[in-house]
Chain A
Amino acid sequence: MRQGTARRAWLYPAVAAGGFRRYATYGTATAAGVFTNTVFGFILAYTYVALWDERPGLGGYDQAQALTFVWVSQSLLAAGALIGGGFQEEMQERIRTGDIAVDLYRPADLQMWWLAADLGRAGFQLLGRGVVPLLAGALAFQLALPADALRWLLFLVSVLLGLLVSFAVRYLLGLAAFWLMDGTGINLMAVVVTIFFSGMLLPLTVFPGGFGEFVRLLPWSAMIQVPLDVLMGEHAGAGGAVGALGFQAGWVLVLLGAGRLLQSAATRKVVVQGG
């Protein structure tokens, strides 16, 4: 029993390391991704400059903060797999082909297994595709990056919580394949929702009135909007930071819990075909 617990203690870090290494082998793809994120960063940055020239202080940001929003969110896209590229397509394919039965046989929890692999992937993407676009943006534009180490630490905690929310949502999508078989449609709809409600399209503070307040309460705002506000000190002070991180942690618990419920419903559906 004790040995089993010990084995499990290193199992998930090992799975995460595997996820990291797996993506680290795609060197050219990573370079291509960095290039694409940088190009998109430039295009969006110019449109934001035009917008904030016209309306300084829009959404509570000055121009430097708005540009920080553009470049940091480009750095977070791949890590959060916000427009695809995560694990759920692979999971859906395993469900469709029946390979998921192998995963269920493992002496590991299905949700924790995929979570560990996805965090490993996200860790690589954060380093591989996060740093360079941000540096390019900081060189070409005046950004509002903090000089304060504590703020960066809070930002990294907030990014981690954002990654967990993103995973939890995508895990629900993955499980949906037990009922839908083909995940293409639902994945695409999920991307639509994520683009709109995460703040990737425009900072959620720019969304008008009550609608803006509503979208800031949804889990997707935990993926980009909240980490950026933490970085730029919009949630300054201990109370503000606790509130922001607590909001993210709340969604992590709710969504991971929903994943567990759906998982047990789904695994009861599995019929292993002999062969």
Chain B
Amino acid sequence: MADALGASGAAEVAEVAGAAPGAVAGARRGGGLPFDGAIGVPIGVPIGVPIDVPKRNRAVEGLRGYGLIVAMWVRSTMTYRTSFFLSAFGNAAIQLLDFVAIWIMFSHVHALGGFTLPEIALLYGSSSISLGIADLVLGNTHRVGARIRDGSLDTMLVRPVPVLAQVAADRFALRRVGRTGQGLAVLVWAVVALDVDWTAAKVLLMPVMIVAGAAIFGAVLVAGAAFQFVAGDAAEVQNSFTYGGNTMLQYPPTVFAADLLRGVTFIVPLAFVNWLPALYVLGRPYPLELPGWVAFLSPLVAVVVFVPASLAWRAGLRSYRSTGS
């Protein structure tokens, strides 16, 4: 935490320098600043009169701003190229170690919780890819707490790009592709090693599971960022649900107590990231009494959890009071 505060100084300079051209370009294209004469608002419109900014533009500008900030951080990361490759490799390796642990376990046993190594590899790979994507796209929202504390969130509020897009792109860490790549490698191995009777539904369910899983993890990340408006420096709590959830989802649900399963099915619905779809693919029942079709509910669950997460983010942002100078 101390390092996050200390290290942000240099990054700040880079970010302001990098983002400013984007902000200006955004305003010229009619996205943001309503008082900028260049976008065609009549000069003379009294302050306080609402100006219609088409809703579509907000989303487009969000993505555009996100893209610009991301590109800036990627350029900045590439300044220390050796360090980048070490980090990307390190990210994949940290992830791989979890799998090595499982592999070492299987050097002593034939099944864990009644599941074989390729079956666990399917769970492991799918959860890792989903978390990897969510973490790459939205992972740095956890830095919002540090920005609230040092007051630098203020600079984001005045830019014509949605704050969530800016926070998500903040110090974008391309090295996280390492985790996704490693998860993909394990998943491919699992699919090859498994003896599954592939039907069209099962084949279709695989990409749906990955994307919906990433969206569910993404919702957790956004909710975690919103929580920091209330709780201050409690960024680590979200690790319990993201990294902790990921670790849990790598093992079969039969390993865990029923109360824990109920919690991650009905309260924080992590079971929909991969457990329920993957168990359908494997032709195994979920330990809780649930109908078979719930395996296909992941996309719906992703939408349902994103709504409260984004509402929480908005509420958090509205409640934000600057720390002052």
Contacts and interface: CB of A to CB of B under 8 A. Distances in A.
Interface of A: 22, 26, 28-29, 31-33, 35-36, 39-40, 42-44, 46-47, 49-51, 54-55, 58, 85, 89-90, 93, 96-97, 180-186, 188-189, 191-192, 195-196, 201-202, 206-208
A195 B260 contact: no
Majority secondary structure of chain B interface residues (helix, strand, loop or mixed): helix
Interface of B: 1-3, 6-7, 10, 80, 82-87, 89-91, 93-94, 97-98, 100-101, 104-105, 107-109, 111-113, 175, 231-237, 239-240, 244, 247-248, 251, 254-257, 260
Nearest to B2: A90
A43 B107 CA distance: 21
A181 B80 contact: yes
Binding site secondary structure of chain A: helix
Contacts of A188: 86-87, 90-91, 94, 175
Nearest to B90: A188
A85 B3 CA distance: 8
Given A50-B255, A195-B97, 17 more contacts: A28-B231, A28-B232, A29-B236, A35-B237, A36-B236, A40-B240, A46-B260, A47-B251, A55-B109, A85-B1, A89-B3, A90-B3, A93-B6, A181-B80, A192-B93, A196-B97, A196-B100
Contacts of A40: 240, 244, 247
A220 to B, nearest CB: 13
Given A35-B240, A46-B260, A185 B234 contact: no
A207 B107 CA distance: 9
Contact of A185 (B90, B101, B254): B90
Nearest to B246: A43
B235 to A, nearest CB: 7
B84 to A, nearest CB: 7
A46 B256 contact: yes
B237 A55 contact: no
13 contacts: A28-B231, A33-B236, A51-B108, A85-B3, A90-B2, A93-B7, A185-B84, A185-B86, A188-B87, A192-B90, A196-B97, A201-B101, A202-B105
Contact of A29 (B7, B94, B233): B233
A22 B256 contact: no
B11 to A, nearest CB: 11
Contacts of A46: 251, 255-257, 260
B94 A206 contact: no
A185 B104 contact: no
Contacts of A183: 83
